Structure 1
């Protein structure tokens, strides 16, 4: 049977999701959604390989931005990890990583324009913060040496004990984060950067689904072959080539930056020397008309997607475990989950938006498929590590319900809570596609060039993400799961 703590947590989250379903908008507004789905599916057989050469520049741009951004982010993140215990550093990094890469891109578009620098900064800022946190956690987990080895020099202790011991885990997480950087760079095309996402967005809007499939397959090939073209033998040539390939950094105008922080994001009543009562009225209007609605819908979408993710993970992990399936089924299931995991939520949501129309349905499906695939794959790995008794049942359903699930369920919940903050960030950004989450109002504020309102909404988004992160940590502490995330493949943050 499941432990009482795990059961209590599950019941609470399931109840919240059920209530959220009551208020959520899952309507289908397209006239023939399944006809559109059929068109999209059949377009796979209409791919024109001759289109590949014209997409190569976008492919190289995607790779180059991801490589350079990860190089800078990993260096910054590593040094920040060494001082992560500082309260000011932790709070600053929590704020930075709580803002999605697309939001950062939209901000830097206002300052630097549509160029490579905007794309790099949009990845570097949040990724440096994420890497700093995870690197710090990995180093903390390897703080297992006796006190007499620590000596008086903290630098020597790190260089000769902690870092060498933790190095394989640091490299493993950096590889995974590079995969994430490729996904993030690709979707920057949806705001105008000429990565693969730029052509993907154009093909989607024009209904050229055969081109969409071609772009997706090219992207999957990049992800699947990362360890072939980025390894200890190739990393330096790849970095150098990426640095030389990137251009179009535009003209960095510090005047734009100064104007942005001293004028554009300052609340309009303050900027125009209005009385304090008008500042309150400005805030109250935004709070009632946008913040309350945006926060409510963001939480609805997050909690529904979290539970849907849990159901998908619980349904799929046996398919990739040798305890339940044969090698053929495991291979097919593994490919299926890798494809879902490799496809950014934003792209999945954009696809479902074309099929079902604007509502929470496309976003919820996208979040469920992407995150469920990640957790399902990890739980399959966890299941393979279980040692059964000699008299264990041979019936697969009984093995699943009474032997495996009770033994891995607490760890499963911990994995789910690690993804909770990510799901919240994605729920906010998916508002750009038309769902009235915080991202919808942020995008509207940018379109109207009301950057003061944009900044206020971003601060609210950040606070919401930090709250979710704190609740998630408390939930994991309550469950008292022994195995940490950094020892499980580092695939959750």
Structure 2
């Protein structure tokens, strides 16, 4: 039997090490306050939030429908592809392929396909489908692995496809459908922020309103998006899904004509440096060396520094917030805490970062705050759910108030908290990279600049660097969780 004291000491040591790394990372992050008095702007934003206004309701409704359509179709296709990949997830090539495609953020996929298909429906769908397929493959494979094999073994010599269709999938269906519902909420956020690169979703109007200082219009977009996220469980019914998917197809924006020869040229020539196309190995290495020294190294320093600082701050905020959203700990007042966490976990990090950037300028600080608030809210929400689920097994005469939190609930939640935090590590790294599209000096800044300069070869190389970075972080995270004996709870 594992020694509880040694386990607790190990988790405490692990936490302290990550806190120390975050403190060191702050010295490398580009943190400056560019505006001398952000409170004036903050008061204008606050006034706008309580006085939402939109001049053309039909325009806002169409953008909302586009946002939902991209998310619905993206999740529907990627979930099917994820099941297929999960069937052969035991093969290394499938695991590596899934890790690579999920490591590239939707914004980067969108920027890449926008060069070929323009601001079309296909760009938005591919930007969601590709990374989500890799995510579904990983999670579905874990779900299948956790299922008992007794029923499947009775199928004898049936082929792998039949075993999954008639054995694994029906057995794991509750867990699969629950995760698909959660991933749909993530897809709504992804669909919205694709508007930051010009697609006609809610994010486009939100970014435009903020840029023009029309905070009442920005508030209208924000409240509509929050309403969509907050009411998903009231309108996303399985029996209506065929109708929703059919309607989503017709509600997508128009697809402009695309020249097939241009697509071939883009993927076979434009994405590769000229020395590589000419077979010049030394020239290719020299080209890569210049990009690495001039852009990759500075961007990696900022991306990693922001990630580590945001990771630890997310954990601190989650531990502070989750008790106020648990009915077991604060009673009926938990409704207020749950609403706050709903708002924080519903707003995409890029939207929060854009807001903080208006207040503090384009430094690492807005990115750290945005990542910490969103991920801290999400982790706190999950911990609060686990706290309430465990309340049924607690003694009636157990301690109450602060004592219950520190001496009874927190010690039980802490392993799950660390597991969730390390599980979000890869996600925070992905989000840190895309903060560059707002002008923050992460990998996304150099990728976005390369696309603007029509340097597709450099942009593609930097995207590959971002993917490799996330693969490394994902691998390290899994090793840390395994070494600490942490099992990630359900999402």
| TM-score, normalized by the shorter chain, greater than 0.5 | yes
> Whole-Å Cα distance in 1 between the matches of residues 435 and 74 of structure 2?
23
Q: Distance in 1 between matches of 2:185 and 2:93?
A: 29
In the alignment, what sits opposite 1:213?
Answer: 219
1:112–1:256 Cα contact (<8 Å) kept: no
Q: 1:152 to 1:430 in 2, by over 3 A?
A: same
For residues 382-420 of structure 1, the C-alpha deviation after alignment (integer angstroms, 9 at most, x for no partner) is: 2221544566433x3332222222222111100101100
Cα distance per residue 1:133-162 (max 9 Å; x no partner)? 111111111134267524211344333332
Q: Distance in 1 between matches of 2:26 and 2:449?
A: 26
1:472 aligns with 2:477: yes
1:32 aligns with 2:32: no
Partner of 1:227: 233
Distance 2:153 2:300 in 1: 51
CA distance in 2, matches of 1:14, 1:188: 33
Structure 2 counterpart SS, 1:234: helix
Distance 1:156-1:120 versus aligned 2 partners, 3 A rule: closer
Counterpart among 365, 371, 375 of residue 367 in structure 1: 371
Q: 1:253 to 1:399 in 2, by over 3 A?
A: same
**Pairing 1:84-233 to 2, within 5 Å after superposition:** 84-145=89-150, 148-153=153-158, 154-233=160-239
Question: Is this contact kept in 1: 2:82–2:133, CA < 8 A?
Answer: yes
Show the counterpart of 2:426. 421
- Alignment check: 8 A CA contact 2:151 2:167 kept: no
**Aligned counterparts of 1:261 and 1:48: Cα–Cα separation in 2:** 44
Alignment partner, residue 4 of structure 1: 9
The partner residue of 1:292 within 294, 297, 306 is 297
Cα RMSD of the aligned pairs, angstroms, is 1.7
Partners of 2:165 and 2:152 in 1: how far apart?
16
Q: What does residue range 316-465 of structure 1 map to in structure 2 within 5 Å?
A: 316-327=321-332, 329-384=333-388, 385-386=390-391, 387-389=393-395, 392-394=398-400, 396-465=401-470
Do the aligned partners of residues 49 and 460 (structure 1) sit closer, same or farther apart at CA in structure 2, a change above 3 Å counting? Answer: closer
- Judge conservation of contact 1:112–1:253 (CA < 8 Å) in 2: no
Partner of 2:250: 244
Contact 1:425–1:465 (CA under 8 A) maintained in structure 2: yes
2-structure distance, mates of 1:439, 1:343:
20
Deviations 1:63-83 (A, max 9, x none): 112112122111111111111
Asked if the contact 2:19–2:312 (Cα under 8 Å) also holds between the matched residues in 1, the reply is yes
1:41-66, Cα deviation, whole Å (9 max, x unpaired): 01123222654233111111111121
Deviations 1:418-468 (A, max 9, x none): 100000000001111111111111111111111111111111111110111
Question: What is the Cα deviation at residue 253 of structure 1?
Answer: 2.6
TM-score between both structures, scaled by the size of structure 2? 0.94
Looking at structure 2, the residues matched to 400 and 223 of structure 1 have their Cα atoms a distance apart, in angstroms, of: 30
1:305 aligned partner = 310
Moved more, 250-259 or 370-379: 250-259
Taking the aligned partners of 1:388 and 1:169, their CA distance within structure 2 comes to 26
Q: 1:229: Cα distance to partner?
A: 2.4
Q: Deviations over 1:240-290 (max 9, x none)?
A: 11112224112233212211122111113334x485433222111111111
Task: For 1:427 and 1:447, locate their aligned partners in 2 and report how far apart those are by CA, in whole Å.
Answer: 20
Contact 1:438/1:461, CA 8 A, preserved across alignment: yes
- CA pair 147-229 structure 1, distance change in 2 beyond 3 A: closer
Query: Taking structure 1 as reference, are residues 206 and 148 closer, same or farther at Cα in structure 2, changes over 3 Å only?
Result: closer
